[in-house]
A and B are shown apart, each in its own frame.
Chain A
Amino acid sequence: MIRFLLKGLLRDRSRSLFPILTVTAGVMATSLGHSWFNGALGGMITTTANFQTGYVKVMSRAYAELSDEMPNDLALVEVEALLDELENAYPEWQFTPRIHFGGLLDIPDEHGETRSQAPTMGFAVDLLNPDAGELKRLKINESIVRGRAPQQPNEILVADELARKLEVEPGQVATIISSTMNGSMAFFNFTVSGTVNFGILALDRGSIIADIRGARRALDMEDAAGEIVGFMPGDNYRDETAQALADDFNARYSYTEDQFSPTMVTLADQNGNRWILDMVGAMGSILVTIFIIVMSLVLWNSGLMGSLRRYGEIGVRLAIGESHGQIYRAMLLESVLIGIMGSIIGTAIGVSLGLWIQSHGIDIGSMMKESSIMMDNVIRTKVTTTTWYIGFIPGLLATFIGTAFAGIGIYRRQTASLFKELEV
């Protein structure tokens, strides 16, 4: 009987083409949407973690309260001891210190007078220790436009856009005018080792990247850091693991009220990231629910139209001796076959597009010009195992539900007037 129904579906395009197209479109959108949100939101989380929040971040309690201002006068001290403590207590995690600072970047002429000047955001990380993993995490080498990565503590990278604006070349001197940890004025001469373009507008507009040793010298922050960021093994952020770590660490310092004692916060608890994380988690269910509802309504309508068109056929089948239930079940079986065909085609198209965008990416830089969101200018999808089957849920359920509603009319069909009806 399945072969018989399949033949009918394949030969009668009006019975199969529209439902299959509907299912294909919905399944493709679900599958592509899933990989898109996985990639775009997941990428946003990874970028945010790598450049800003870490998976966990240790700060002084006072710094944490004003973290938006990045107040280095409230920075952590005795950082080396704290790093040792973290690495001993949580050996599977990787911790590294960072300093954020603001100031003026002054480019002197050959006489030492200001040639050009601009405000800048400084970002100091451990660039010289390959074990810290920052070169890879921040994709420093891939982002260099001119010159090279710093090899000395007094070398910096300048955002390429800023460097062009200030007309500074690799090898030239750039002076940072900022404030020390103790509140006095800081002047420090760095050598520009290269220029970078991260593809993240929030950074590319006017930042400099320094090695943390150089920044410590410039800002009088020996053995201090604004924050220590921690990364768990693997690519994906797992909130439960991060939260367990933060709870355990914070419990160690629960005995003190000292505002300079360290506190640990998770990625989710910084910058309103929990909403994005919840969104990523819920997106699969949201997409599936939306497409089940929309496709069910469309397929219900198409099922009703199909029932009208097949009025004669259903009448003959009732007369020949099929029961209402048998015809209803046969229609549901047809819908499952349509659902399977549409889901296979839709998934194939959706996953193919997803893989293409995963490989090539879509540049949204022009849309992000005024944005300060920490995300790549090039959005990539991320095709996971779930992407391969998530479309089948709305694909099969919607055709089944749509047909189940549309087919109820079969039970209202009276056999008593079949001869009259079939005379037409």
Chain B
Amino acid sequence: MKSTTQPLIELKNVVKRYPMGTTWFTALEAIDLTVEKGEFTGIVGPSGSGKTTLLNIIGSLDSPTEGSAQVLGHFIEKLSHKEAARLRNHHLGFIFQTYNLLPVYTVYENVEFPLLLLGLSNDERKKMVLDALEWVGLTDKMKSRPAQLSGGESQRVAIARAVVKKPELVLADEPTANLDAENSHHILKAMVRLNQELGTTYLFSTHDEKVIQYLRRKITLFDGKIASDDVMTPQGG
């Protein structure tokens, strides 16, 4: 299953079709894409352009109908459910638009959860959770419940949860969609810093201008195809 190719992500001629009545809807068409380690890249485009579908495939939540999607040396189309879960558990972090924190657990416990799945010891978990909360500036809120946090704080907890295990790749779907401008910049600056300090690769799905100004690479999708792939000069960081 493992290959010897170097890029973090390498998609070759990826096609994704969904059944739609008696016909098929093509969400992605002939996508060729390479993402190197340490990139801070955004996939932009209008609604229905295929951003989330592409993120799903790269995140091993879905597999391509045709073509090959290689992530961290794993061919997504060949992974079983269990192997895909293992890839996500060990190497990928996810940030959702609506935070999706577990409401009955504290900030500390939410961030700790991915580490429990990795079977780490209590001491290891404690150190990693405290580090992650320090990265996002929420050490003083570790005993709070999600309901006691603002939207910006909740998303910072979600970021801490995504990066606590120091994954190679973080996938973020519209991470600032529910945040005001100030909180959005705060969040993006935190992610830029983690990208630089930890070398984590970030891949966003977004159409938020505030996010776009922080990107170093912008891939524009239109009707399931890559319309442009531009190197950017970040303005926000």
To the question of whether A and B form a pair in one complex, the answer is yes
- Interface, chain A (partner B; CB < 8 A): 1, 4, 7-8, 11-12, 15, 312-313, 315-316, 318-326, 415-416, 418-420, 422-424
Q: Is A321 a contact of B173 with CB atoms below 8 Å?
A: no
B42 in the interface (beta carbon within 8 A): no
Binds A, one of B30-38, B94-102, B193-201, B206-214: B94-102
Is B116 close to A, CB under 8 A? yes
Q: Is the CB of B98 within 8 A of A321?
A: no
In the assembled complex, the Cα of A174 lies from the Cα of B20 at a distance in Å of: 101
Report if B141 contacts A (CB, 8 A): no
- The smallest beta-carbon distance between A12 and chain B, in angstroms, is 4
The residue among A4, A313, A321 with the most chain B CB atoms within 10 A of its own CB is A321
Distance in Å: Cβ of B174 to nearest Cβ of chain A: 7
8 contacts between A and B (CB under 8 A): A7-B104, A321-B86, A321-B114, A323-B82, A323-B86, A419-B96, A422-B98, A423-B174
The 8 A CB mask of B74-100 against A (1 = contact, 0 = none) is 000000011011111110101011101
Distance (whole angstroms) from the CB of B46 to the closest CB of chain A: 16
In the bound assembly, the distance between CA atoms of A15 and B90 in angstroms comes to 29
Also in contact, A423 and B113, with CB within 8 A (given A320-B88, A321-B90): no
Which residues of A lie under 8 Å from residue B86 when comparing CB positions?
321, 323
B98 and A423 contacting across the interface, CB-CB below 8 Å: yes
Q: How far is the CB of B14 from chain A (nearest CB, A)?
A: 14
Contacts of B89 in A (CB 8 A): 320-322
Are the CB atoms of A326 and B117 closer together than 8 Å? yes
Alpha-carbon distance A415/B92, docked complex (angstroms): 15
Given contacts A4-B109, A320-B117, contact A325 B82 (CB under 8 A): yes
By CB atoms of chain B within 10 A, which of A312, A315, A323 has the most? Answer: A323
Q: Which of B55-63, B126-134, B179-187, B222-230 contacts A (4 or more CB under 8 A)?
A: B55-63
> Which listed residue (B56, B87, B116) contacts A419, Cβ 8 A?
B56
Are B62's CB and A8's CB within 8 A? Answer: no
A323 and B89 alpha carbons, distance in the complex (Å): 9
List of B residues within 8 angstroms of A424 by Cβ: 98
A321 touches B52 (CB 8 A): no
A419-B173 contact, Cβ under 8 Å, with A318-B85, A319-B61, A321-B88: yes
Please, which residues of chain A bring their CB within 8 A of the CB of B116? 1, 4
> Nearest 7 A-B pairs (CB), nearest first?
A321-B89, A416-B62, A321-B88, A323-B85, A415-B61, A12-B104, A11-B104
Q: Give bound CA distance, A41 to B56, whole Å.
A: 65
Residue of B nearest to A318 (CB): B85
